[in-house]
Structure 1
């Protein structure tokens, strides 16, 4: 998925958003103020920016206007405590693609970013991820195969069978032959994190799995499962 830069001055929320968006498959550069943003932001690298407006060293809306004037292709999402209609009109008029109040559920933020990514990638041909069950291998597009454990192959089979659909935690756990009521949910989260890390280390590509908080996971790229 695309690299993302997050500008949020509240330390606790910044950490929460960084972890959540990382679980959604983004590479997140998190900064706390305008000065840090300017020092970190790289137009060739960051394709999406999530920006707070109330900042200790200035107004995030001015940053939105400057970014939009300089880069028409950058995806910009304002995520702010300023939730009035005039604030929203100013943000969208200043160049934001989306304007979300901080009361927004994080799953809605993830869905908004996924929609924005699809728009940014419209001109790109879809790349297919292939899962080979017999040999227990994942074939990322344009890369060599990745060997999988039986559990990893089973989890990917459930997710890749219906791309773009959220698969519940219960369905994934049951596919592993486990009793959902007795299963430690942290085991599944750890397995997904390990799969993401393994894929990125082997190929440089992020594994296209989104976390649907309190619901399950979603494989959001073209996929094919072979016997």
Structure 2
């Protein structure tokens, strides 16, 4: 039986992005991929990027360029993958895959296609996915603290904000789903749970 490649991760941006990264790690680990914090030892590096403001974009670009100069095979996930799809593929031949903000749950399939030699673009035009308590997750926070996403996306169309384009319309998890995940985390020893979303005060208006 062949050994799965080793994958390292670079997390950029907000804590909502952190949760996406944690799910990506959990899904790949469950599928048998090796996870290593050392990018130099990894066969692939997944970079979960941010594209909300200019400074965040520049940080993401610097990270991608540094990895490209080190001849790493890069999987670009997150908001920049959602926002600058064609530009990234054109400018970074080291990018073996793009994974949009609503598509990270397909990461195992993406990696399997990459291993076969495909260059993969898995980016939904309108993100609709939201992970729940059944989605594998490997926490990267300290032992006693965890984030729980209660909703994703935003229905407002503010002229100054790109979030609806990057994250899609609002979609809330059910109260039952959130409570179940909180209980799972408590059973793991988590003492402090931080609820997050794009607009927390709008939680549930789309489903209740």
Greater C-alpha Rg:
1
Give the structure-2-normalised TM-score.
0.43
Q: Where is the strand percentage greater, Structure 1 or Structure 2?
A: 1
Give the structure-1-normalised TM-score.
0.40
